[in-house]
Amino acid sequence: MRALRGGIQEVSIDPFEAVRPNRMEIRSPRPDFLESWDRLAGLDDLPNDLTRMLYLASLRDCNSGRYLHPQLSPRIGMEEAHRVLCGCHDLVFRRLLAAPISDYVLQLEEYIRFARAERGTVLRTWESLEAYRATVPVLTLQIYRDLFCLNVEMALAILNRSGF
């Protein structure tokens, strides 16, 4: 924090502070450490970060917020797997927050192709259910949840208008 003219203070805020694991848990692993887990967790087989967000959210228990992976959890232990997957989710979310809307459009198109789903059905379902709201890391600040959801909603609107 530093003082500016007129008694106003400039505050430096870490926009990702709230997407880190609970303060009582071990902090998220370093990004370079996480990259080594991509293959084992199956993340490197996925086409983009939006698809990775959906996948990682599907590994999280909606009641406890704990991540469970069918191969990774038994191999390295439930606590370590949770920590790694939580860190991966955090990292993927950070990258998406920094991405322009055009990337969301491209990634959503690619996700639809990857899922081998009918485009119109996916777009209508995403608009209706808004399930993408549940893909955000648990401790994310509301402003970053809103930003992510707004970006997805803009991508949906663009894809709906493009019509092809």
Domain tally for the chain?
1
Residue numbers of the domain that contains 138: 18-162
Fill in the amino acid letter for 131: A
Which parts of the chain have pLDDT scores under 50? Answer: 1-2, 4, 6, 9-29
Residue 22 counted as domain residue: yes
Q: What is the pLDDT of residue 18?
A: 44
In this predicted structure, what is the pLDDT of residue 32?
55
Q: Kindly tell me the sign of the dihedral angle through the C-alpha atoms of 150, 126, 60, 96.
A: negative
Q: What is the pLDDT of residues 44-67, one digit of tens each?
A: 889 999 999 999 999 999 999 999
- On whether the pTM is more than 0.85, the answer is no
What pLDDT shows up at residue 40? 66
Phi first, then psi: give them for residue 10, nearest 5 degrees: -85, 130
